[in-house]
Amino acid sequence: MSEATVLTVSVQPMSDSPQSTAVNDLAQHAWSPLVERIRAGDPAAMEELYGLFSKGIRFFLCRQLGPQDLDDRVHDVFLTITQAIRSGELREPERLMGYVRTVVRRHVAARIDANVHARRRHTSLEDGIVLRDHSPDPERLAIRSENVEVALRILNSIARRDREVLVRFYLDEQPAEQICREMNLTETQFRLIKSRAKARFGELGKARLSRRVGFAARFR
């Protein structure tokens, strides 16, 4: 996940983009032949499976568990998937995507569980608690804090009613229906308030990013 993409907000899905075409192709992807080839031990099929899923698996693992040991984790998940396919555990090849998702989720749950147990063992050996350093790196921290600054600027610059909508939705986690009912808003007005704020967040983020790139270029 590139940090540079963090603040570029695309409000509308791109229905005609090349990426969209690729997804359409995958929608019609028949998984059975691929699964059969993997079962038969075809290395090209393994490569194809890796090419299709590795980025997605990496994304989910990083999102849930952080960037530590990411390559090893992706490898473990693939090993589980391919072994399951070869041993015939995947009974419905067309459900391959669902199976991959299940394996990723199980891996995340197992990882958290393993961390809990490892920590318990550490604690019993040493006086006090041993914690792994999960602190974000300084760049990530700076980006987070800048993001909050941008969000604050937006909150301070919009109308009081719009601000109340955002606070109720994002901070108080009130359902959209409740907010609309209590504030006499239509669903469209509610969506518009959120999408405007999001678009503004993206604009300010992009502007900040280009300033940073320009600043860095001067020192090259």
Query: Among residues 160 and 220, whose Cβ is nearest to another protein?
Result: 160
Least gap, CB of 148 to another protein (angstroms): 5
Residue 195 binds another protein, judged by CB under 8 A? yes
Burial zone of 38 (CB within 10 Å; 0-12 exposed, 13-18 middle, 19+ buried):
buried
Among the residue ranges 3-11, 40-48, 84-92, 207-215, the one whose residues contact another protein (CB under 8 A): 3-11
Residue 11 binds another protein, judged by CB under 8 A? yes
Least gap, CB of 208 to another protein (angstroms): 12
Residue in 92, 172, 177, 182 binding another protein, rule: CB under 8 A: 172
Residue 32 binds another protein, judged by CB under 8 A? no
Residue 186 binds another protein, judged by CB under 8 A? no
Among the residue ranges 7-15, 32-40, 79-87, 178-186, the one whose residues contact another protein (CB under 8 A): 7-15
Q: What are phi and psi of 14, to 5 degrees?
A: -95, 100
Residue 101 binds another protein, judged by CB under 8 A? yes
Q: What angle do CA 201, 156, 186 make, to 5 degrees?
A: 70
Residue 66 binds another protein, judged by CB under 8 A? yes
Residue in 43, 72, 125, 135 binding another protein, rule: CB under 8 A: 135
